[in-house]
Amino acid sequence: MNPNPSRRRRRVAAVAAALVTASLLLSGCLYQLIPDTSAPVSTASAAPDVDGVAAELLPYYSQSLDWKACETGFDCTTVTAPLDWNDPSKGEIHLSLIRHRATGGEAIGSLLTNPGGPGASGIGLIRDSLDYAVGQPLQQSYDVIGFDPRGVGESTAVSCYDASQMDAYLFDVPKTPRGSDAWSKELLERHSGFAKACDANSDGILPYITTENAARDMDLMRAVLGDKKLNYLGYSYGTFLGSTYAKLYPERVGRLVLDGAIDPSVSGLQVNLTQGIGFENALRAYMASCLKGDNCPFSGTVDEGMEDLGTLLASVDRSPLPGSDGRKLGSDTLMTAIVAALYSEDSWPYLTTALSDALQGNPDVAFQLADFYYGREAGTYTDNSTEAFRAYNCMDYPVDTSAADLAAAQAELDQKAPTVAPYWFGPDPCEVWPYPPTGVREAITADGAAPIVVIGTTNDPATPYEWAVSLADQLSSGVLITRVGEGHTGYNKGNSCVDSAVEAYLLKGTVPQDGLRCG
């Protein structure tokens, strides 16, 4: 089935922990800062912040947190939130939080974090990959907070399929020819079955799994943690969550860093198209690197290597490769494996192994990459990221793509991304979602907010650089940092120019020079 990577990015920390063996090397940067005008000052209060809270929401904003040790060096708690922020009488949900206390003494305050997705676990990010999520200087000065947004993981969660059903949904090779009417019908029937299962098994929460509601939840977390303003570090989809918060509560914005930005103004179709081109560009960069090595399964020029990779994809589309666990590797799963490896340049050697083995008829390493992408281990799924991803996107993105729009996008993709184009678009699963979307696609200005730092990486395939430029331009107080390089997101990836700018801002409020470029 179509992996639909246009609307998916999660498991950044898990893929990194499992695949990354070396950090990126600093190649130099141009770094200037506006002079420091503020020293670290604690913004955390001893009691929940209830200033200006409506009477019907006071029971939520005034709740006390019961922290309990949950792992070595961490403690955990649960926050109760309204199911429907517009009508709190409709019921409640529970939000799970994890905290790593500041190691350097009294904390400046809380630093909320989000790894992306939508659907990735913020608890898992902090518990399992704290050093990957935030650098040591931030750990010393902040209480670092991870949380599972509504619908995700250990919070009140979306639930759809069991492991065997999910395997069939994600990995079964379609029985009908790609691109035919019968193929579209087959996939839509699969999507419909998945959507019905989500509705049946999620206890009525699906209409309320939206980024706007999650942003309101985040303001509740800020308040009950005792912070007057929100300090936040969001990656990938977490940038959309953060910019939505700034739209709703500009006066409560503290120090926000949005890394690997999503442009909130572009349509779902444009997201899909732009990412397809981005992954093609990243794949070409991978191919150029591969061809310089000794173990590359391709030869000749980059164009020739890409043509040979296209031949491999077409081959497994016609004749899927049997894996050792009984699954068959079709072109959609191979494309998912390729996408998974392109998020980090450090994962390129694994992609080389996967493609070399696939050319020899062995798909097992390709399956390993796809399994990391979907959170699958030993035949089970370690999280509900796939379900939550679908729930959020089907509520956030209007379904308004015409046949003419799709044909034009496919034509553009054919021209600009010929290798991935045959395997990128497919029937939109949100067409059969049981609830209509409530989100809108519009520019976010967040007038009145404190400076918001936006980071873009020049050859980021998942959140293309142009989105960071656009978001920084939209935000009235946006400040752009550019990391020149490969891979997804820019902070804490081995570039001291980026890291120093981000940490100076979060620790001291020192605003980076707008347009800072780190090579």
Give the catalytic positions in this structure: 236, 460, 488
| 8 A C-beta contact, residue 2 and residue 424 | yes
Cα distances from 508 to residues 52, 243, 297, in angstroms, run 27, 21, 49
CA atoms within 13 Å, Cβ hemisphere of 65: 27
Query: Helix or strand or coil: residue 114?
Result: strand
DSSP tag of 170: H
DSSP 402-418: -HHHHHHHHHHHHHH-T
How far is C-alpha 11 from the geometric centre of its chain's CA atoms? 8
* Burial (Cβ within 10 Å: 0-12, 13-18, ≥19) of residue 319: exposed
**Where are the strands (E) in 236-394, listed by range?**
253-259, 321-322, 328-329, 376-377, 380-381
- Helices then strands, counting H and E runs in the chain, come out as 17, 14
**Strand pairing partners for 129?**
none
- The amino acid occupying position 111 is L
Strand, coil or helix: what is 52? coil
Instruction: Show Cβ contacts of residue 349 under 8 Å, excluding neighbours closer than 6 positions.
Output: none
C-alpha 196: how far from chain center: 25
Annotate 45-94 with DSSP letters as a single string.
Answer: -SS---TT--GGGHHHHTPPP--EEEETTEEEEEEEEES-TT-GGG-EEE
DSSP 3-state of 234? strand
Q: Which amino acid would we find at residue 309? A: L
Instruction: Record the tokens describing residue 109, joined without a space.
Output: 């305050």
User: Distance between CA 464 and CA 271 in Å, rounded?
Assistant: 9
Distance, CA of 174 to CA of 263 (rounded, Å): 33
Q: How far is CA 133 from CA 63, 322, 383, in A?
A: 28, 37, 19
What angle (nearest 5°) sits at the alpha carbon of residue 301, between those of residues 297 and 305?
40
* Tokens 């990354």, located at residue: 20
For helices 12-19 and 122-133, the axis angle rounded to 10 degrees is 50
CA-CA distances (angstroms) from residue 352 to 21, 134, 309, 361, 515? 15, 30, 11, 14, 35
Q: Which two tokens stand for residue 69?
A: 């040790």
